[in-house]
Amino acid sequence: MWPRPRPWLAALLYLWVHLACCNEHKTDANRPAEEHIPRELRAWTWANAPLPDLVTEDVSEVVETDFSGEVEEEHNTSCGPDCEKALPTPSLSDFNDYLSYETLFENGTSVFTRVSWSEVPEAEKEIRREVAEMVVKTKRRKRQIFGVDTRFNILGEQFLTNFPFSAVVKLSTGCTGVLISDKHVLTAAHCIHNGKRYVKGRKSMKIGFIVSQPYNETMRVHRDSEWRWIKAKKTQIPAAWKKIRNREKAVMYDYAVVELKESTDRPFMDIGVSSAVNTAPGRRIHFTGFDNDQEDRLLYRYCSVLENTADVLYQHCDAQPGTSGAGIYIRNWDNSTEKWERKIIGVFSGHQWVNQDGAPRDYNVGTRITPLKFAQICFWTKGDYNLCREGY
């Protein structure tokens, strides 16, 4: 059990979290009129572009027998932000190799699927051109908690069982995930496969949802959360995660989708693609997860992007192991609906040491969703690529 915050502190926390992360989900009647939204903020709009043609072919099927891998949340590379920005845009052949994928079913059978895109979309190239022009200087920090711990403990059913926190789930392998449909969860690839083998517990993996957190009025404490667990039907990971897991570009493809055996009635979060400007250094990102150092508590945090590349978001949001797989989101103005919208634009990967300016530097990092990654995730989720063709 956890002690309940003092009344004045609880009220302050309620007001802060409501304003910081949930305000855009008011009913239309309670939304601020557009004229009250600062003009400079209305300029932050969602990118949108059509997607190329896709052809898929199942080429091999095997029965997996090795589920002994450990979940690894620490990444080390000599290629930091500046190095990544200097990398050439992958060729169409590279993208076809990286975004081919492996599907693992609950019976242990896995199928490898080769993909063939018709072209590299212009939006994919544009993001890489934009980030290559950005030059940012950052200060060196240490550890996964950077200075004062700024994570917010989400307590009480009024938060835990309502959107957006109700869309956050826990994997039995020890990671976090986020609902992106009524039966699909987006998470980190390393929570499923460590690059060499599937992780322990993957074959019997379940996805947990908090359904309640009773409050004891007599003892004035929140009781332990009550959970509902649903078994995973299948998981899908990009081929790049296994192909380049031990090379410098591994975190660029650290994402996976889990399909549940049962649908849920919970609201889910949309995924999107942000332009380089919308995730430029200084832009605020948010994510919520189950940090291991806080048992089964749900912790929300936000911070500014420190560095960004075409495939990775570098930041100092406070996080601990267990948060991997959390959906990183931002808020942008949607001109078509004339509303603020929250969309997942990345997946939290973990802690990473890089070589930058000739010295070791550490960040917490997230895999960024690009146009082709969006297309792949959309296809995995909908099963019919025609439903994804109009873009994001």
Give the pair of three-digit tokens for residue 236. 């899908």
pLDDT at 180: 96
Q: What is the pLDDT of residues 248-294, one digit of tens each?
A: 567 899 999 999 999 998 999 999 888 776 777 778 888 888 888 87
Distance of CA 377 to the CA centre of its chain: 12
Residues 111, 122: Cα–Cα separation, whole Å:
31
pTM score: 0.83
199 near 67, Cβ under 8 Å? yes
pLDDT one-digit tens code per residue, 301-345: 888 888 888 899 988 888 788 889 999 998 877 777 777 788 999
Nearest to 153 by CA among 303, 14, 8: 14
Q: What is the chain's pLDDT, residue by residue, as a tens digit (392 residues)?
A: 344 444 444 444 444 455 455 544 433 333 334 444 455 554 566 667 788 899 999 888 888 878 888 877 666 666 777 778 778 888 999 999 999 999 999 988 999 999 999 999 988 888 888 887 765 444 434 344 445 566 677 666 566 777 888 889 999 999 999 999 999 999 999 999 988 889 988 888 999 988 776 555 554 445 566 788 999 999 999 999 987 754 556 789 999 999 999 999 899 999 988 877 677 777 888 888 888 887 778 888 888 888 888 899 988 888 788 889 999 998 877 777 777 788 999 999 988 777 666 677 788 889 999 999 999 999 999 999 988 887 66
**Do 127 and 276 contact (CB within 8 A), yes or no?**
yes
Which among 131, 137, 122, 235 is positioned nearest to 189, based on CA atoms?
235
Amino acid identity of residue 48, one-letter, is N
Distance between terminal CA atoms of the chain? 42
- ∠ at Cα 159 (158, 160), nearest 5°? 105
CB–CB of 388/51 below 8 Å?
yes
- C-alpha closest to that of 236 among 65, 54, 380, 373: 380
Q: How far apart are CA 174 and CA 154, in angstroms?
A: 19
- Helix or strand holding residue 345 (H, E): strand 339-356
Helix/strand/coil for 379: helix
